[in-house]
Every structure is written in C-alpha cells, then in structure tokens.
Structure 1
Amino acid sequence: MVLERPVTPNPYDLLPVVPDFTVTSSDVTDGAPLSDAQVASAGDTSPQLSWDAVEGAQSYTVTCFDPDAPTPSGFWHWVLVDLPADVTSLDAGAGADGAALPGDAFMCRNDGGSKAFMGAAPPAGDQVHRYFFVVHAVTKATLGVDSDASPAVVSFNLAFKTAGRAILHGTYAH
C-alpha cells in the first residue's frame, strides 16, 4: 500500500530569508537518491559535506531533516551544533555515535533518540522522502543549547542566529 499525502513544502522556504551559500558532497547529489551508506538499514553513515566559509559566521550547525515523514513535525535525522567557524567540511561518518568532533562541537538527540546521524528509513511503500542536509552559518560562537536540546529548540535558536544557510537534499524510498 502506498500512502497518498500531499507533497510537503520545502520547510526552509517557510523561514525568514537569509543569504545562501554553497554546500557540496562527494556522497549526496542534490535531488538524487541517497547512497546505501546514508540508509539506516545499510550504514547510518553521515555524508561528506563541504561548504563555503561565511563572512561573519562564528560557528556552524549542520542538520538533516525529512519533512516527508508521516508525522506533523517531520523527522530530524541529525543535529550537529557549535562547529568552529574555521571548519568548512566534515568527513563521511562524522555523525557517528561517539565521533571525535572539532572544537566544542556536539550532537543533539535526533528523533530516533540517539545523539548521532540516523540514516534514511521511511516506512515501506511510503512516498519518496527528501532528506535536507543543511549547513547553518551561526552569528554566535555557541548556539546556546546543550546536547539534550530537542531539534525544535535548536531550530528555534537558529531562527535568531543564522547568518546564512546552505541546502543540499537527497531522496529515498523503499
């Protein structure tokens, strides 16, 4: 059975406009299906990401969000906070549980309950899901949350401290 739901909008189109910058990946092609490494059943490996340095950024936050999850609030797969401003790339696997992160960076709990990257895992037979990998340039050295903050609280803080946003999205369906 395939669930029929309206296509959800790009959630970042609903936020206040901020300057954009570029994020690239050797693992994710914008708009294309994710590789097996980024799927929960096959790897749970966060992708390699690189981005432009943003003038005025004092830190970066990296998130992965699925707005197509069958919930009113979507599903957060990854929340990495307080990356130092001189960091402009992450190796594949940087989102692993217990991974060594630069500076005072840390991961908050995803919607699956772990403080790590959780790969794509839409319900079988569901529509194609989009996975938004977003790098947020932050105007403060610290976002002002701790690792127990929910993704919603992180997002709320980002609404007031974002100097720019870079977006790359992959897709996945069973």
Structure 2
Amino acid sequence: MSLERPIAPNPYDYLPTVSSFTVTSTDVTDGQPLQDDQVAAHGNTSPQLSWEGAPEGTKSFVVTCFDPDAPTPSGFWHWSLVDLPAEVTSLESGAASGELPGTAFHVRNDGGEAGFMGAAPPQGDHPHRYFFVVHAVGEETLGVDPDASNAVVSFNLAFKTLGRAIVHGTYQH
C-alpha cells in the first residue's frame, strides 16, 4: 500500500478568523524538525511553550498539537490541554505529564491517552507538520469534560476562541 497523497492544507486557514498573538518555544523552532524529545519513540515529552499578547477578554487557554498530515481523513490529535487559567502564560517541557494548574485537564489524544503523544508518522511517509496552538478562550471553561473527543473540543473552540498563537515543527522517519 502506498501512502502517496497530496499534502494537507494548513487546517487553521479554514477556521473563523480571530486575533493572533505570539507563542515561542525553546523546544520547537517554527517550520523546523522537532527535537527527539518531542518524538514518541525517543522522548515523548511535551515541549516548552510561552505566549504573550493574548486578546483582551481572555479567560482561559486551550493548548493543542495537531498533525494534519496523518494518513487519515481527520488528521491526528497529539495533545489537547483544556481550561488552562488565564494567568498561565507558559508550560515547561514535560508539563503534560505533570500536575496541571487550576482546573486544567487533558482530553485523550488520538493514541487513546490523556496527555501528550510525540510525533510518530508512518515509516517512509513525507514529513509531517505538528501544529502547537495556544487558543485564547473568552470563557473560564470551554464547556467540555475529559471524555470529550478532540472534534468536540475543536467545535467548541470555533465559537469561543478570541485569538490563536501557532508554532509548528516537522518530523519524518
């Protein structure tokens, strides 16, 4: 079976337009290959992220990692961290496997676990993009629970996101 297929578009280009703000990382350089720590077979560690300039009215954040290049119609969700308090503006490396601030919680990734799942594209596939996105939410809670699917999280974000900050890395076996 061949995995040859067109490159998926940037999925965030197809969402409602919102303000942008800045996210930086000591672990992810925008558009560059991920470090081994962010690869499932090596470190499987969530990256350090810091953000600033979120829109006025931000009451919480959601942090996600999405791979639109997975050989599925729906891509692959590697991380969904929901209901981060508005005063949180950074996450240290490995924060996904530690104690979360406030009432924040994880929704299961597409690997079936709550937390971060590192890059794991099929052997020989083209480079995959991993979009680490901080969503500024205009409510203290997104209104989902830990049993929600990533599609439900995304659906709620479509209506409650005030701003979005994106950094993406790549990986290929």
**One fold, TM greater than 0.5?**
yes
Q: Distance in 2 between matches of 1:131 and 1:2?
A: 22
CA offsets per residue over residues 105-159 of structure 1, 9 Å max, x none? 0000000000010000000000100000000000000000001111000000000
Correspondence 1:107 to 2:96: no
Alpha-carbon RMSD: 1.0
8 Å Cα contact 1:2-1:125 kept in structure 2: no
Give the Å deviation of 1:53.
Answer: 4.4
Identity %: 73
Unpaired stretches in structure 2, ≥5 consecutive residues = none
The CA deviation at 1:3 is 2.8
Which structure 1 segments of 5+ residues have no match?
none
How many residues align? The count is 172
Deviation at 1:2, TM superposition (A): 6.6
Q: Do the aligned partners of 2:22 and 2:53 also contact (CA within 8 Å) in 1?
A: no
SS in 2 for 1:153: helix
Give secondary structure in 2 for the equivalent of 1:154: helix
Kindly report which structure 2 residues correspond to 1:30-45, keeping only aligned pairs within 5 A, or say none: 30-45=30-45
Q: Name the counterpart of 2:142.
A: 143
Partner of 2:4: 4
SS in structure 2 of the partner of residue 80 of structure 1: strand
Residue 167 (structure 2) pairs with residue 168 (structure 1): yes
Aligned match of 1:90: 91
C-alpha distance in 1 between matches for 2:109 and 2:68: 14
1:12-31 alignment to 2 at 5 Å?
Answer: 12-31=12-31
Displacement of 1:95: 1.1
Aligned residues of 1:53 and 1:88 also touching (Cα < 8 A)? no
Q: Shift in Å at residue 4 of structure 1?
A: 1.8
Give 1:54-65 correspondences, 5 Å limit. 54=54, 55-65=56-66
Supply the AA of the counterpart residue of 1:74.
G
Q: Distance in 2 between matches of 1:95 and 1:118?
A: 9
Letter in 1 for 2:37: A
Kept in 1, the 8 Å contact 2:3–2:71? The answer is no
* Separation of aligned partners in 2, 1:140 and 1:75: 26
* Structure 2: distance between partners of 1:46 and 1:167: 15
Shift of 1:32: 0.1
